[in-house]
Chains A and B, each alone.
Chain A
């Protein structure tokens, strides 16, 4: 018996870890063998893990704050994210960083429906919900409902644009600068910028 579309949409999205234990075990076994055979030194693995864990949302926040105070930098960031990031000393290791700007009329939201593509070389590892099947399925299907659950009910007059990060590009949202921060210094502005605001599931507030 086949399910009707209504029945299908009633089936909850199941989070699964099929095979995760198997691959974790295989990775540990392979690592052990490589160490025993002298093909890999323990410090080499530590170095790679440290490099993976170094990037963090504060790096992206510095790009956002600079773009808010420097319109020429903002133009360069929107034209070529990786080159602009390099100006501040950040190396984007993915193919390109596409920066999309939120305005009074446009709100951008980033998702990777196929897996968990994320600008990891800039922001670090994605939050758990970004990887969840529920977010991945719903962000493209009902973005306004998802945003509302994140605390952002947007009026119909604000255009919602979803970016499915499905291939080689990586995405960063340039959030709106909050009102009342006209006199704030760049360093203080950077402290206001949250990880979620650069994914598009939050706005930046002035305090």
Chain B
């Protein structure tokens, strides 16, 4: 198994890879930029498991921290409130330089 592509603190963009079916990435976080909170390990791909396939090789899973104001421009809570969500590696791209 290769080393994880991202480390805690890395800025990442959550992609919309347009895959139908049993995907675990809800619409409200797609196209959003956040920061990797931790690497959770590698797990069989649920998109494949749902079709009774083995889902291997296992895919790196990360927890990504997002600002609520970045998710919802009209968010009514405190400006620095956050949300964390799990994202599989193939739904992520590096976002070092691009604006959130």
A137 nearest CB neighbor, chain B only: B28
Known: A145-B76, A167-B88. A96 touches B25 (CB 8 A): no
Q: Does the CB pair B83–A96 fall under 8 Å?
A: no
How extensive is the interface on chain B, given as a class?
Answer: 20 to 34
Give the segment of B1-9, B39-47, B92-100 that binds chain A.
B39-47
Interface residues of B, dominant DSSP? mixed
Query: How many A residues touch the partner, as a band?
Result: 20 to 34
Q: With A142-B76, A144-B77 given, is the CB distance from A167 to B86 under 8 Å?
A: yes
Which of chain B's residues has its CB closest to A155's CB?
A: B78
Given contacts A113-B26, A141-B72, contact A168 B78 (CB under 8 A): no
**Given A140-B28, A162-B83, CB of A96 within 8 Å of CB of B78:** no
Decide: B86 and A169 in contact? CB cutoff 8 A: yes
- Is B30 on the interface with A (CB-CB < 8 A)? no
- The yes or no answer to B16 lying at the interface (CB within 8 A) is no
Contact call A166/B77, Cβ cutoff below 8 A: no
| B41 & A96 in contact (Cβ 8 Å cutoff) | yes
A95/B41 contact (C-beta < 8 A), A143-B77, A162-B83, A169-B63 known: yes
With A160-B77, A168-B46, A168-B86 given, name 12 new contacts (CB 8 A): A95-B40, A95-B43, A98-B63, A140-B83, A143-B81, A145-B76, A161-B82, A164-B29, A166-B25, A166-B85, A167-B86, A169-B86
Chain A residues with CB under 8 Å of chain B are: 95-96, 98, 113-114, 140-145, 156-169
